């Protein structure tokens, strides 16, 4: 048997096993040896990729920022091979109850003295980018507003949306004045009935950013460039019309795979610096971060 | 809500409806009118509608871009291929109206699963295996009509029977009624379990058969209820259940072929029961038992009609199946050769019921009536067997081989 291309992924939910078993089966059907290792958190996965334990990683945007920095510090280059169509141009929204002071005032100064809900400490979409957004508007946690964190499954970089859901519930219960969430989750929570129709409104939105990607570090992975190219080719060939493949795409939340791009991470890189999460070489600075 | 503007691209105004409140429906139906790759313009006025629209489009696989036009924000949605792509290779499972040509498939596919007949079934739906998936094994053209009749003829035991009508029977006669009810209950349990088992094995594509079996099961549940209620009417508990009686009924439960089981249970067994219930309607000593017999006989006659109808249909497709039916009667007779047949207590109970009182004269009259009943039952079986195409001699022979337990 040929040596398989080894992928690292984070087990943020039980469905992750189903997803990667399905991918393994798909690649096997196309005579491509593929296997995966699951990590309990992205920090461990990034370190494993740097020490050559895995060829490829399915990285959160925050893991991409770290692995990119760590690779550069070693004179290496990290590449984003592919991403989901749903990974591009996301934004985070700040939601308040309709009719509240925050929701009825045009500018963000109304947030002064209010309690704002954030997701997990390591969530790009519900903590880092939102804090950075408010900072850019001149609002600092602890000085201008009170931050309340809804921390669930630290180390998963916010993939587990439980933190955002808990913040939405707290908002409707009147425990907080506003809550940050990814734009898609705003609609999802409306469908779930957590956010009743018309009961909330968007009071702020972040700039656009990209989400996950398959990352390869040239010079570390034992896999040949040819293998990485074949992997990408097979991935991009996954067709929504194919009934065997569609359930996997549905589980992973995409309609089509797209070539990777790294132009959508600038906002997060700025947030990581401003919030002092990682340093320029990818070392963890956040002192209260447990994973 | 659909407007045409000068650039002739379709445009919809979702007004102040947010996508957290259902506006996605307006966009979705707007997109249906254009092909994949086509563009739809969307305008709105609820706060943050453009952010919500972008998130929705991303999740649905549609492209979206925003531009300011004449002082207002206009979104251009490019319809993706995913919503249509889901139905690529989908299966069409016949038609809902069984009267249309090709509506009911000869073989129902496992990938149709639980879908309504006539639905478009997404490729990749799980295979759900139903053992009874061939039309020739189970079909009857009359099923829909019989089901409609059954629905119309449902009756409520609480109101259809006058449980308070006063009567007082001699103790031995009441004992006989209780014994007969005990016997009827276990027979009706078999008549419930047999179709219920097939019901769970039947492909839902054969909706009319499924519905008929389901209501047949409900009929039997109601019969068990009223027999039990009559049994307890004077404060009694159930009487005797014999090994031979249960052995006879078990042969019905053991039959795995739908047609053979229908033949033994409905055509021969329930057919015989119709004679028995008619007998009770005429000769039972109390008004409650007579009312029960009248209502249950009507239901049982429908069950017999379905059994006959299915077998006539199957024999039309497969005339040699008649041999299999004859063998089944013979095999059942062989299997029961070592058993006692009809519970002696039941036979005696029938005499006492027909007698109505415990005197030599009444018993003599009751005995004659029961003898006549046994003859009527055999004659009924012979007539039905001849209708199924058996020669007169064969029909007589098979009618006589039927279990002495009646069902």
Structural domain count of chain B? 3
Same domain, B94 and B185: no
Same domain, B357 and B379: yes
Q: Higher model confidence: residue B340 or residue A205?
A: A205
pTM for the model stands at: 0.82
- Residue B7 predicted with pLDDT over 80: no
Phi, psi of B390 (to 5 degrees): -75, 145
- Indicate where chain A has its CATH 3.40.190.10 domain(s): 5-87+210-274, 92-205
Size of the A and B interface in Cβ pairs below 8 Å: 81
Q: Please tell me the predicted confidence (pLDDT) of residue B4.
A: 46
- Residue A196 predicted with pLDDT over 60: yes
Q: What percentage of residues in chain A have a pLDDT greater than 90?
A: 87
Instruction: Say yes or no for a CB contact (<8 Å) between B47 and A201.
Output: yes
Confidence of residue B318 (pLDDT cuts 50, 70, 90): very high
Cα–Cα distance, B156 to B140 (Å, whole number)? 28
Instruction: Say yes or no for a CB contact (<8 Å) between A89 and B47.
Output: no
Q: Considering CB atoms only, which of A91, A93, A243 is closest to B89?
A: A243
Chain B residue numbers touching A92 (CB-CB < 8 A): none
Establish if B89 touches chain A: CB-CB under 8 angstroms: yes
Q: Residue B106: inside a domain, yes or no?
A: yes
Q: Please tell me the predicted confidence (pLDDT) of residue B1.
A: 46
Cα–Cα distance, B148 to B136 (Å, whole number)? 22
- Residue A241 predicted with pLDDT over 80: yes
Confidence of residue B5 (pLDDT cuts 50, 70, 90): very low
Confidence of residue B6 (pLDDT cuts 50, 70, 90): very low
Same domain, B114 and B222: no
Chain segment B55-81, per-residue pLDDT in tens: 999 999 999 999 999 899 999 999 999
Same domain, B57 and B157: no
Q: Considering CB atoms only, which of B24, B51, B82 is closest to A202?
A: B51
User: What is the span of the domain harbouring residue B291?
Assistant: 135-401
Q: Would you identify the CATH topology of the domain A92-205?
A: D-Maltodextrin-Binding Protein; domain 2 (3.40.190)
- Residue A65 predicted with pLDDT over 90: yes
Average pLDDT for B257-284:
96
The CATH code that applies to domain A5-87+210-274 is 3.40.190.10
Confidence of residue B345 (pLDDT cuts 50, 70, 90): confident
Window 103-162 of B: residues touching A by CB (8 A cutoff) are 122-124
Same domain, B326 and B275: yes
Confidence of residue B218 (pLDDT cuts 50, 70, 90): very high
Residue of A nearest to B22 (CA): A197
Same domain, B79 and B92: no
Instruction: Say yes or no for a CB contact (<8 Å) between A202 and B58.
Output: no
Chain segment A8-63, per-residue pLDDT in tens: 999 998 999 999 999 999 999 999 999 999 999 999 999 999 999 999 999 999 99
Cα–Cα distance, A120 to A129 (Å, whole number)? 12
Average pLDDT for A207-232:
91
Q: What percentage of residues in chain B have a pLDDT greater than 90?
A: 87
Where would I find the H helices in chain A? 15-29, 42-50, 61-73, 101-104, 129-136, 162-172, 183-192, 225-236, 246-252, 266-274
Q: Considering CB atoms only, which of A88, A190, A243 is closest to B20?
A: A190
Instruction: Say yes or no for a CB contact (<8 Å) between A241 and B89.
Output: yes
Instruction: Say yes or no for a CB contact (<8 Å) between B59 and A253.
Output: yes
Q: Please tell me the predicted confidence (pLDDT) of residue A108.
A: 86
Same domain, B76 and B92: no
Contact between residue B318 and residue B263 where contact means Cβ atoms under 8 Å apart: no
- Residue B42 predicted with pLDDT over 90: yes
Residue of B nearest to A185 (CA): B55
Chain segment A143-178, per-residue pLDDT in tens: 999 999 998 788 999 988 889 999 999 999 999 999
Q: Considering CB atoms only, which of B20, B80, B124 is closest to A247?
A: B124
Window 96-135 of A: residues touching B by CB (8 A cutoff) are none
Q: Residue B350: inside a domain, yes or no?
A: yes
Same domain, B15 and B152: no
- Residue B191 predicted with pLDDT over 80: yes
Q: Higher model confidence: residue B338 or residue B105?
A: B105
Residue of B nearest to A104 (CA): B47
DSSP-derived pairing of the beta strands A146-149 and A56-59: unpaired
**The pair of three-digit structure tokens given for residue B58, joined into one six-digit string:** 């991303």
Cβ atoms within 10 Å, residue B266: 27
Q: Considering CB atoms only, which of A198, A205, A253 is closest to B21?
A: A198
Nearest alpha carbon to residue B220 among B255, B185, B248, B244:
B185
Phi, psi of A90 (to 5 degrees): -80, 165
- Residue B223 predicted with pLDDT over 70: yes
Chain B residue numbers touching A93 (CB-CB < 8 A): 48, 51
Q: Residue B407: inside a domain, yes or no?
A: no
- Residue B8 predicted with pLDDT over 80: no
Q: Considering CB atoms only, which of A85, A183, A255 is closest to B55?
A: A183
């Amino acid at each position: 048997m040929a040596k398989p291309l080894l992928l690292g992924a984070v087990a943020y939910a039980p469905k992750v096993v189903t997803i990667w078993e399905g991918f393994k089966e798909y690649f096997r059907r196309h005579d491509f040896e593929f296997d995966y290792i699951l990590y309990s958190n992205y920090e461990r996965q990034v370190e494993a990729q740097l020490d050559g334990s895995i060829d490829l990683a399915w990285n959160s945007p925050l893991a991409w920022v770290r692995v990119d920095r760590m690779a550069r510090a070693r004179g290496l280059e990290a590449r984003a091979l592919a991403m989901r169509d749903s990974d591009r141009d996301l934004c985070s929204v700040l939601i308040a109850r309709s009719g509240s002071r925050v929701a009825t005032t045009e500018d963000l100064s109304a947030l002064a003295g209010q309690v704002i809900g954030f997701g997990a400490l390591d969530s790009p979409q519900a903590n880092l980018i939102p804090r950075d957004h408010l900072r850019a508007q001149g609002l600092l946690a602890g000085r201008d507003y009170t931050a309340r964190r809804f921390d669930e499954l630290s180390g998963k970089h916010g993939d587990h949306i439980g933190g955002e859901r808990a913040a939405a519930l707290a908002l409707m219960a009147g425990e907080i004045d506003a809550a940050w969430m990814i734009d898609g989750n705003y609609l999802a929570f409306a469908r779930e009935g957590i956010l009743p129709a018309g009961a909330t409104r968007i009071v702020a939105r972040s700039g656009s950013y990209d989400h996950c990607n398959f990352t390869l570090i040239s010079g570390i992975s034992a896999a040949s460039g040819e293998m990485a190219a074949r992997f990408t080719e097979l991935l991009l060939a996954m067709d929504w019309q194919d009934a065997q493949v569609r359930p996997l795409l549905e589980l992973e939340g995409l309609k089509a795979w797209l070539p990777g791009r790294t132009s959508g991470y600038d906002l997060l890189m700025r947030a990581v610096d401003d919030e002092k999460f990682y340093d320029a070489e990818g070392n963890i600075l956040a002192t209260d971060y447990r994973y | 809500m659909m407007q045409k503007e000068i650039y002739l691209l379709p445009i919809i105004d979702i007004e102040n409806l947010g996508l957290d409140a259902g506006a996605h429906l307006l966009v979705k139906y707007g997109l249906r009118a254009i092909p994949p790759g086509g563009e739809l313009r969307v305008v709105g006025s609820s706060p943050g509608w453009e952010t919500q629209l972008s998130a929705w489009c991303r999740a649905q696989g549609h492209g979206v871009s925003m531009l300011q036009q004449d002082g207002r924000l206009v979104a251009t949605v490019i319809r993706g291929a995913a919503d249509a792509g889901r139905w690529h290779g989908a299966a069409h499972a016949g038609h809902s109206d069984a009267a249309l040509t090709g509506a009911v498939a000869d073989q129902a596919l496992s990938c149709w699963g639980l879908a309504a007949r006539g639905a478009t079934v997404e490729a990749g739906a799980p295979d759900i295996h139903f053992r009874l998936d061939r039309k020739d094994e189970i079909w009857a053209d009359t099923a829909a009509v019989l089901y409609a009749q059954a629905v119309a003829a449902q009756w409520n035991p609480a109101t259809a029977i006058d449980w308070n009508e006063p009567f007082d029977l001699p103790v031995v006669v009441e004992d006989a009624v209780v014994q007969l009810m005990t016997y009827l209950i276990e027979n009706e349990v078999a008549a419930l379990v047999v179709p219920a088992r097939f019901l769970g094995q039947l492909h839902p594509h054969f909706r009319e058969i499924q519905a008929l079996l389901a209501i047949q099961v409900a009929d039997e549940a109601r019969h068990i209820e009223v027999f039990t209620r009559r049994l307890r009417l004077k404060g009694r508990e159930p009487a005797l259940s014999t090994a031979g009686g249960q052995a006879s009924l078990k042969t019905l439960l053991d039959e795995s072929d739908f047609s053979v089981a229908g033949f033994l249970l409905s055509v021969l067994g329930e057919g015989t029961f119709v004679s028995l219930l008619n007998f009770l309607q005429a000769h039972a000593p109390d008004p409650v038992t007579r009312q029960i017999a009248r209502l249950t006989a009507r239901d049982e006659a429908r069950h017999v009609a379905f059994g006959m109808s299915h077998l006539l249909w199957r024999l039309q497709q497969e005339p040699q199946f008649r041999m299999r039916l004859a063998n089944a009667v013979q095999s059942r007779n062989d299997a029961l050769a070592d058993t006692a047949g009809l519970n002696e207590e039941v036979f005696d109970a029938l005499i006492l019921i027909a007698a109505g009182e415990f005197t030599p004269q009444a018993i003599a009259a009751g005995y004659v009536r029961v003898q006549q009943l046994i003859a009527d039952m055999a004659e009924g079986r012979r007539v039905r067997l001849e209708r199924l195409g058996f020669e007169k001699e064969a029909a007589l022979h098979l009618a006589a081989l039927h279990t002495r337990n009646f069902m």
